[in-house]
Chains A and B, each alone.
Chain A
């Protein structure tokens, strides 16, 4: 077996002191240095590059224990053979790029994954396709890792029989960018993950949540798309979260939410678009949130804000053709609504300051009635209900009087 080793020229080293020594390049494939990836991984030392050429490699679990770069040329397939995990990374500073990783084992005891990263730093997983694995990418006790432009697909039928697309646990400073995840349990799952960025990912058709995070403080979620996941997006027990410019669409069903916020505080939800969800944004125990410049369109309920939410500011959002703009379960109002555009607003603007002169009460009587008695949905939009609504608008009796937007916009905000 021949190992081609390309050391840089002596001149280069003398010229550039600071550069570390290059590693060797080990090739894997038929007619290359190695036939099996496992042999190459065994031979490789830190800073080496392992180039894997086209082909299917079914070698059981592959474990990377050295600081190497592993690159797939023409997308070689690593087949886990439905046993255990496919690729385990147990060294820091590893790059894995360009593979198609398929068929990990399944089981809820040891959580096998397509790529599992154990307790390390600065691992980059880029441009891989992970198909039919139990978990797609699984990071635990890791920090500074980048997961970029991977496609993660599975076809699960039941939540119990599949893991999450990108599962991160007890990690810090992760960057999850541009991944596409379909058919897993949760698209992206964060638990105890801090200071991380989730950017431009697309999470569709997952069985449970498109994004699910708990106890994950100081994270940013920007420009992601969450569509038609079983129950939308759920975020719980977290503080200091930024959610900018995400799209939440087609979360339909009784317990399905565009975003479900439970015990969240000091978060910013800005510039997102919520379309065609049963409940676009559900807040329970959420405090000191800023919800602004979002567009709520064609949802069943735009904003379901429970009475245990406090000091939230809802301003400059567009509420367009939702069945109910807002709903709540109590009469206590500790949140501020201002300068939103409500398409159901019927007021006027005499002083031409683009804000309506009469306050708007976004909480409709019937939203309250249905909150207490869901069966009453049967009578929705009947003549009698419209009459009751009109009366309630003139003389609020059931809906809390202070639940109102004092300066509603006359025209939709340009978002």
Chain B
């Protein structure tokens, strides 16, 4: 398993797309930090990068990589290796390669320019988001045999998480504006990994305005250590559940 994972990592890290991805992230974050004079604005721009670009690249790239290594996977399956370890190794390789390029591209400048809790949370959520979307990509690619459909599904998932889900939540908020919906709405938005990531970073940079929010629900739900732990657990579930489902299918799938 280790061998497969390290092979995948070295294969991906030599991949041109991932090099470009790393480079683009690095260029963006360095230029954001050198152009913006206020750190909170810089964090905001980076947040958009983390919430839009990172998941998109993670899900699409992983998806395509798995389709392209279809023959390689078939070859491995014919060897005396457990299917579970092949799939896990593939996930481990993909996600760690993406995490490495995220860390090089955004992690390093963040650590240099905004050391401290805000930077740490930003990097941590970025890593989590990468892992979540890699895991979702694995599920997409195993669900759809056809490459085009698989990619289509992953784009839809990305669009749903970043845009449509928020639209639905906003719609619900206005429909039920007359009811005490603070807590249910917090739960609903915490169910989306992108929203969860956004709220965690927001708690760091928009503290003053969030304290004004009725009852400071935010602070109570996410600001405490328990809140952080719960958020981390939710993220872990978002990583583990899609991967587990895909693994289950892969074990029994006729390749």
Contact = CB atoms under 8 A, between A and B. Distances in A.
Given A298-B208, A323-B208, A377-B210, A384 B170 contact: yes
B177 A321 contact: no
Contact of B208 (A252, A375, A377, A379): A252
Interface stretch (A84-92, A154-162, A276-284, A393-401): A276-284
What size tier do the contact residues of chain B reach? 35 or more
A377 B189 contact: no
A373 B107 CA distance: 36
Interface string B181-205: 1100110010000110011001000
B47 A323 contact: no
B211 interface: yes
A382 B195 CA distance: 7
Interface stretch (B38-46, B70-78, B245-253): B38-46
Interface in B53-92: none
Interface stretch (B18-26, B140-148, B213-221): B213-221
A387 to B, nearest CB: 8
Judged by DSSP, the binding face of B is helix
A253 B95 CA distance: 41
Given A374-B213, A384-B163, A277 B169 contact: no
A276 B194 CA distance: 27
A2 interface: no
Nearest to A382: B166
Contact of A373 (B162, B163, B167, B173): B173
Contacts, number: 104
Contact of B173 (A253, A278, A376, A383): A376
Nearest to B180: A375
What size tier do the contact residues of chain A reach? 20 to 34
Given A373-B173, A376-B170, A278 B211 contact: yes
Interface in A316-337: 320-321, 323-324
A411 interface: no
Given A378-B185, A379-B189, A373 B218 contact: no
A295 B116 CA distance: 27
Nearest to A300: B209
**A277, A377, A385 interface centre (most CB from chain B within 10 Å):** A377
B114 interface: no
A299 B173 contact: no
B211 A252 contact: yes
Nearest to B170: A379
B52 interface: yes
Contact of B206 (A343, A375, A380): A380
A394 B169 CA distance: 24
A151 to B, nearest CB: 29
B115 interface: no
Contacts of B52: 383
B103 interface: no
A192 to B, nearest CB: 32
A135 interface: no
Given A254-B216, A321-B41, A375-B182, A301 B189 contact: no
A390 interface: no
B40 A378 contact: no
Interface string A96-137: 000000000000000000000000000000000000000000
A378 B41 contact: no
Contacts of A379: 166, 169-170, 173, 189, 195
A183 B207 CA distance: 24
Contacts of B199: 378
A381 B44 contact: yes
B5 interface: no
Contacts of A254: 211-216
B224 interface: no
B48 interface: yes
Interface in B148-174: 162-163, 166-167, 169-170, 173-174
Interface string A251-279: 01110100000000000000000001111
Contacts of B167: 384
A380 B41 CA distance: 15
A300 B211 contact: yes
7 closest Cβ contacts across the A-B interface?
A300-B209, A323-B209, A300-B208, A278-B212, A384-B166, A377-B213, A382-B166
5 contacts: A298-B40, A321-B38, A375-B173, A375-B182, A378-B218
Given A300-B208, A379-B166, A382-B195, 14 more contacts: A252-B211, A254-B211, A278-B211, A279-B212, A299-B208, A323-B209, A375-B182, A377-B209, A377-B213, A378-B195, A381-B206, A382-B198, A383-B52, A386-B48
Interface of B: 38, 40-41, 44, 47-48, 51-52, 162-163, 166-167, 169-170, 173-174, 177, 181-182, 185-186, 189, 194-195, 198-199, 202, 206-216, 218
